[in-house]
């Protein structure tokens, strides 16, 4: 049970003060009856606003095709962000909708967004070794020797003392590769190639754990069941 005004504010409908006005205006029903009690305790499934059930009261889990050019932080000074792709109401929710890990501004592809912080922790923890697949184009021909180097668990990134966990490198064409990582360090794919004297020209994430981006258009998203990852166990 939650306070009605708090519930509406947390789901991004309006401020708590505005919720009082919405209730006073008769816009909110609880179990089919117009309510006049904005502070009353309610079950989300019983509430309607303007006749419609509440918007995702149990949380959001979204698979987004992040385009190049958007950042994953909420900080305005970093430029346009991926949250600008979402409906206004979702951007006002508490807890805040955030990305599961990050893709850098110049990287496109599969990005998960959610308001479930426990899920963010679980999916980003190196302990859980969630595989992420990236497609990279490079500025020079790839040497086959990079395959065992990436797999070795010995590759050191500039400025770090702990080598990268073993990663899978598949050379698909002389300057085209697929890399599978089970960790997610800052700019990791770009820095792994940089450690071998190679510059990544384009980077795209195609898979995250059991999920594949598929044909989803850039800037589009689709909803996943909130218990999607529970069901995978
Ligand atoms: N590696 C990178 O270099 N950038 C990303 O966004 C993700 C992995």
Ligand 1 centroid to 186 CA: how many Å?
A: 7
Could you tell me whether strands 176-181 and 132-138 are parallel, antiparallel, or unpaired per DSSP bridges?
Answer: antiparallel
Indicate the CATH number of 131-208 among 3.65.10.10, 3.40.50.300, 3.30.70.1560, 2.40.110.10: 3.30.70.1560
Name the pairing type of β-strands 61-66 and 107-114: antiparallel
Ligand 1 within 6 A of 192 CB?
no
User: What predicted TM-score, i.e. pTM, was given to this entire model?
Assistant: 0.95
The CATH code that applies to domain 61-125+212-231 is 3.30.70.580
Topology at the third CATH level for domain 2-53: 3.10.290
61-125+212-231 shares the fold of 2-53: no
Pairing of strands 52-53, 47-49: antiparallel
User: pLDDT digit of tens for each residue in the chain (233 aa)?
Assistant: 999 999 999 999 999 999 999 999 999 999 999 999 999 999 999 999 999 999 999 999 999 999 999 999 999 899 999 999 999 999 999 999 999 999 999 999 999 999 999 999 999 998 999 999 999 999 999 999 999 999 999 999 999 999 999 999 999 999 999 999 999 999 999 999 999 999 999 999 999 999 999 999 999 999 999 999 999 87
Rounded Cα gap, residues 35 and 49, in angstroms: 11
Strand partners, 105: none
Residue 185 CA to ligand 1 centre (angstroms): 8
- Closest residue (by CA) to atom 2 of ligand 1? 187
What own/partner pairs with CB < 8 Å and gap ≥ 24 does 53-57 have? 54/7, 54/11, 55/11, 55/12, 55/13, 55/89, 55/90, 56/11, 56/90, 57/7, 57/11
Which of 104, 115, 139, 176 is the catalytic position? 104
Report how far apart, in Å, the C-alpha atoms of 190 and of each of 25, 31, 111, 179, 200 are: 55, 54, 17, 11, 6
Going by alpha carbons, the residue nearest to atom 4 of ligand 1 is 187
In order, the DSSP letters of 202-223 are EEEEEEETTEE-TTPPTT-EEE
Q: Is 104 a catalytic residue?
A: yes
Domain boundaries, the chain: 2-53, 61-125+212-231, 131-208
| DSSP helix/strand/coil, 20 | helix
């Amino acid at each position: 049970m939650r306070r009605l005004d708090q519930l509406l504010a947390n789901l991004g409908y309006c401020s708590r003060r505005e919720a009082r006005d919405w209730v006073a205006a008769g816009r909110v029903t609880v179990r089919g009856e117009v309510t006049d009690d904005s502070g009353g305790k309610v079950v989300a499934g019983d509430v309607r606003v303007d006749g419609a059930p509440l918007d995702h009261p149990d949380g959001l889990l979204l698979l987004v095709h992040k385009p190049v050019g958007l950042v994953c932080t909420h900080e305005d000074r970093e430029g346009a962000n991926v949250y600008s792709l979402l409906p206004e109401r979702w951007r006002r929710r508490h807890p805040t909708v955030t990305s599961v890990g990050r893709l850098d501004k110049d990287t496109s592809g599969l990005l998960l967004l959610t308001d479930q912080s426990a899920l963010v922790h679980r999916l980003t923890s190196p302990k859980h070794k969630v595989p992420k697949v990236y497609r990279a184009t490079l500025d020079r021909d790839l040497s086959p020797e990079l395959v065992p180097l990436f797999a070795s668990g010995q590759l050191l990134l500039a400025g770090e003392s702990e080598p990268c966990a073993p990663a899978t490198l598949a050379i698909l064409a002389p300057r085209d590769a697929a890399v599978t990582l089970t960790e997610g360090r800052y700019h990791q794919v770009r820095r792994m190639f940089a450690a071998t004297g190679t510059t990544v020209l384009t980077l795209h994430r195609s898979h995250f754990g059991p999920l594949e981006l598929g044909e989803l258009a850039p800037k589009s998203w689709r909803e996943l069941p909130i218990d999607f990852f529970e069901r995978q166990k």
